[in-house]
Amino acid sequence: MAQLSCGYRNGTDRMVIVRCLGPEEFFLERVVFPFELLSFLAPPASVVEIWTHGLGGPELLESIAVEELCIEPPPSPVPARWQQAA
């Protein structure tokens, strides 16, 4: 399965939990401290949820498509003329 190289920067002054849910049971969960940058790999069509802890318990701050967090372009397909030469 192809994976995208992604990054999330916690711009808040509070610790957050980054949870990435993807196809084929892909799951990633990490704690990200204030102003820290998290780099990770995730399959296309995944969703990243940013959670924090409020007075009433866990709070979902935002939900982001993983394609919006890509830090490098996805690999382009090999041109047909290169495949024939191989």
Alpha carbon distances (Å) from 72 to 4, 8, 9, 67: 8, 13, 15, 10
Burial 56-74 (b: 16+ CB within 10 A, else e): eeeeeeeebebeebeeeee
48: β partners: 20, 64
Show the domain range for 46: 4-85
Q: Are 17 and 51 in contact (CB under 8 A)?
A: yes
Look at residue 57 in the predicted model and tell me its pLDDT: 93
Q: Indicate the number of domains in the chain.
A: 1
Q: What's the pLDDT score for residue 76?
A: 64
16: domain CATH number is 2.60.40
Average pLDDT per consecutive 10 residues, the chain (86 residues; last block may be shorter): 91 96 95 97 96 92 95 68 58
